[in-house]
Chains A and B, each alone.
Chain A
């Protein structure tokens, strides 16, 4: 599960990298531009792969256990965005992510 979360997080990094070149343009030029945007294509694929992995794991493990684990993705995405995209984070972001993970865990409790 953790591996699939890391794959998904890496996918979102690629989506972010490709998003600068992303335009809603349905002309031939726009479509070619989208199809050669490897960051978006590979990012989307990695995202999709982590989703497939999640569905696969769901067949063996309870949703109430797996769902809170998906929120580990927020930690990885934040770490990756600082490390690879050189984004700045602050105490608000760290506290916010901690609260989100805590909240997701509470939502899945019965």
Chain B
């Protein structure tokens, strides 16, 4: 496994489309985990009276775990892709958090916010598409 990774790293110069897809898919998964983590932390933040409350709060524990998984996925994504490609995809967490806030907290979202979601998705897609050109 690790030998294969090194081989991939060495052949970074002639990257193919599949090589590009891998870090993007991993970083998208990463943003889903961090967004879920944020929502869990928000739910858990209601019950933070004492230290024991915090340490036994299942939402806070799950939230932190979800964040940790997100962080590991980000590092793995960085291993396979350029920082200037992977990092902008982190912005997708803004999209997920907004959608999850509607779903779980019944927050109201105006048309300008929907437009913001659309603009972020277009921006991220452009970066992905643009990187495909560098072969």
Contacts and interface: CB of A to CB of B under 8 A. Distances in A.
Given A24-B76, A89-B84, A104-B120, A96 B113 contact: no
B75 A15 contact: yes
B106 interface: no
Given A74-B88, A92-B130, A12 B83 contact: yes
Contacts of A98: 123
A98 B131 CA distance: 16
B11 to A, nearest CB: 14
Contacts of A108: 116
B49 interface: no
Interface residues of B, number: 42
Given A15-B74, A97-B127, A99-B126, A77 B87 contact: yes
B57 interface: no
B126 A96 contact: yes
A106 B123 CA distance: 13
A100 B120 contact: yes
Contacts of A105: 116
A20 B9 contact: yes
A17 B18 CA distance: 22
Contacts of A104: 91, 94, 116, 120
Given A19-B75, A24-B76, A78 B120 contact: no
Interface of A: 12-13, 15-16, 18-20, 22-24, 40, 44, 47, 71, 74, 77-78, 80-82, 85, 87-93, 95-100, 102-110
